[in-house]
Chain A
Amino acid sequence: MTNHNHDNHEPVIAGDDPSDIEGQLITEALQALLIRKGLLSAGETTLEIQKIESPGTHLGAKIVARAWTDEHYKQRLLENGKDGAAELGIKIGEAQLEVVENTPDIHNLVVCTLCSCYPRSILGQPPSWYVNKAYRARAVREPAAVLYEFGLELSDAQRIRVHDSNADLRFLVLPQRPNNTDHLSEDELMTLVTRDSMIGVAVVKSTDAQ
């Protein structure tokens, strides 16, 4: 380490668990070894990281906007999420995609209590709070309190469905289409759809309300 004058600031990367550093050291040592043995190049690793990180939330938003504007498409999507995405030219890398629909009576919330399973091929990498142990533990135990902290207050009549994405399925929440959006095109609707609404910690608001 070079001399580095410290201001008072928080650590730049806040891990959940200090023991993560051990895993990181092992990974780095393994990669260095594989490179030295000629089994892997640093460039290949970089390319793979790029590939993993390139999808973004716009793909999920595209699926949602189509489902809002085409009832038949929505039914096919709810029946088989992977095929529904494929219709729009979106390839799902995960084994299966299950689309769960929010209605006036049902609010869906997605979590992975065991690690960080997430529909990465259509939402990109999960936000840091999604990987955080507090979110993972509390979303299945007191979902309404978690949603409240995200700024979402459900009515007493709404039932909650929590989806623990623990194994081979991945989940996309189909949020409710906001009121006063009848005049908007599919592309305009797409811009309203947020990442958080597709995880279920937020709802989609019309531009008027924002």
Chain B
Amino acid sequence: MSERTQIRARFDIGDQVSVLELEKLDHVRTPYYIRGKTGKVVEFCGYFLNPENLAVGLTNGPVCPLYRIRFVLKDLWPEYARADNDELFIEVYDHWLEKQT
């Protein structure tokens, strides 16, 4: 993995980020229920091959930064009835995120 090109990590722990609503199908690993939602970067997970390439056998590409993002469940589901501080943690690749200021 060390010789591979790394895509530069654009986000820091603590950043507020939104998940982009990219018109992508197939093996993207970014589920619809978090698209367009805002959460916080809580961990940098490392660099991984882009699953969008990996799924079609392209294993030579650059590696992408992956982050763990924390969402408040109430922000994901307006009808969420339980506690305000129940949370969801999920991993999102760099190119699916944009910073919120």
Q: Which of A114, A141, A156, A169 contacts B45 (CB 8 A)?
A: A169
- Confirm or deny: A152 has a beta carbon within 8 angstroms of a beta carbon on chain B: no
Q: Which of A85-102 contact B (CB under 8 A)?
A: 95-96
Partner-B contacts on A (CB < 8 A)? 95-96, 113-114, 140-144, 156, 159-164, 166-169
The residues of B that contact A140 with a CB separation of less than 8 Å are 33, 73, 76, 88
Q: Which of B63-98 contact A (CB under 8 A)?
A: 66, 68, 73, 76-77, 80-83, 85-93
Which residue on B lies nearest to A171, using beta carbons? B89
Contact between A160 and B83, CB atoms less than 8 A apart: yes
The residues of A that contact B93 with a CB separation of less than 8 Å are 167
Q: Which of A96, A142, A164, A169 contacts B31 (CB 8 A)?
A: A164
In the bound complex, what is the Cα–Cα distance between A144 and B80 (angstroms)? 11
The residues of B that contact A95 with a CB separation of less than 8 Å are 46, 48
* Chain B: number of interface residues, binned into ranges: 20 to 34
Contact between A161 and B87, CB atoms less than 8 A apart: yes
Known: A164-B88, A167-B29, A167-B90. 15 other contacts (CB 8 A): A96-B46, A140-B33, A140-B73, A140-B88, A141-B80, A142-B80, A144-B82, A160-B73, A160-B83, A160-B87, A161-B87, A161-B89, A163-B88, A163-B90, A167-B51
Residue-wise, chain B 1-42 has the 8 Å CB interface mask toward A (1 for contact) of 000000000000000000000000000011101000000000
The residues of A that contact B45 with a CB separation of less than 8 Å are 96, 167-169
In the bound complex, what is the Cα–Cα distance between A142 and B45 (angstroms)? 27
Q: Smallest Cβ distance from A154 to chain B, in angstroms?
A: 9
The residues of A that contact B48 with a CB separation of less than 8 Å are 95, 167-168
In the bound complex, what is the Cα–Cα distance between A140 and B32 (angstroms)? 12
The residues of A that contact B30 with a CB separation of less than 8 Å are 166
Q: Which of A156, A159, A166 contacts B90 (CB 8 A)?
A: A166
